[in-house]
Structure 1
Amino acid sequence: MLLKLLHFLDRGLTGLMAAAIIVSTAAIIGLITFLILSRFVFGWSVVGLLELSTLCAIWLYMTGAVLASRNKEHIVVDFTAQAISSPRLQALHELLVAVIVLVLGLFFLSLARDMLGWSFRRPQTTPGLGIPLLAGQGAIVFAAAAATLYALRDVVAGILKLFIPSRET
């Protein structure tokens, strides 16, 4: 029951991330195109377009990082993985990679927590549109939390694969 719920939540999150990637990519393309046209064709200087496109880019990059973590494409060394022929050593290698990613994820989560603490003590906004910097920092916090959860999933799967070899994860 719990696995079905987690699978459902994962599929829902993946759908939301796919939508966020499409929307942010379209927004970046539209905003940067308009920024270039307005400056070089019409001679206008439109305040805030670069801020909005940067905000969209941060969400795009962080969402892409979470999808890479979800798909186990964050740290891939094909040569090492392909050189290992023993199923037990392959499972150990996968577990080692998962533990490294989990440690990095916990460090990333700690940095995100510190960044949020600073932002709440000294709130800042962008100069042109006055967008709170928390709007962009939310992407970093989301990526840190989600990537760490996916890394934890990979560690558990690696442990199960190492100690229950017949189990496919």
Structure 2
Amino acid sequence: MNRFASILLTSLICIVALGQFVQVITRYVLEVPVMGLEETMMYPTVWLYILGAVNASRENSHIRANVLEIFLKTDRGHTILAIIGEVISLIVGLWLLSWAWQFTQYAWKVWRESPTLYIPTFYFDVALVVGLALMMVYTALHLIRHIRDLRTGAAQ
């Protein structure tokens, strides 16, 4: 799974970089903008952003401001704080996931298209619900791991 995620994210970032390179060369060097390139670049850009957040959730490497950890002296205290943080993240994430699901249902019903190339936007609208669902799975797994560490005494 780790290899697949890194290959997918690397591919997406290369596609985005290549698209931006083509845009700069054609627009500023050749002075012939490629119509619709921005629309086609939305797909890999949105998926890269969302899957990057999923990857950070999988690796448990989101940016955090753990100010309370300064005052906690034991590993047990750190684990309890991590459990509280994961529970709050799970509650907020599930709430956002329900909104994303409603938006996905709306996007399916409306079936919007991009203004120039008439590409269905549903395929990058759905990235939000997929990404949030995966983030909630990883958050739940981290929560279970912290609870297990607290129970087994690994966080003493």
- TM-score, L = length of structure 2: 0.89
Where do residues 8-157 of structure 1 align in structure 2 (5 Å cutoff)?
A: 12=1, 14-157=2-145
**Percentage of matched positions with identical amino acids:** 23
Contact 2:76 2:155 in 1 (8 A): no
Structure 1 residues 61-94: Cα deviation after superposition (integer angstroms, max 9, x where no partner): 1111011111212252344334421222111111
Q: Which runs of 4+ in 1 moved over 4 A?
A: none
Q: Structure 1 111/15 Cα, relative in aligned 2: closer, same or farther at 3 Å?
A: farther
Is 1:158 aligned to 2:149, yes or no? no
1: CA distance, partners of 2:142 / 2:29: 51
2: CA distance, partners of 1:34 / 1:115: 33
Partner of 1:5: none
> Considering only aligned residues, what root-mean-square deviation do their CA atoms show, in Å?
1.9
Higher relative contact order (CA closer than 8 Å, sequence separation 6+): 2
2: CA distance, partners of 1:110 / 1:34: 38
1: CA distance, partners of 2:119 / 2:4: 23
> Structure 1: any 5+ residue segments left out of the alignment?
1-11
Letter in 2 for 1:125: E
**Stretch moving more, 157-166 or 120-129:** 157-166
2: CA distance, partners of 1:39 / 1:77: 41
Q: How many residues of Structure 1 are paired with residues of Structure 2 in the alignment?
A: 156
- TM-score, L = length of structure 1: 0.83
Q: Give the SS at the match of 2:135.
A: helix
Contact 2:12 2:45 in 1 (8 A): yes
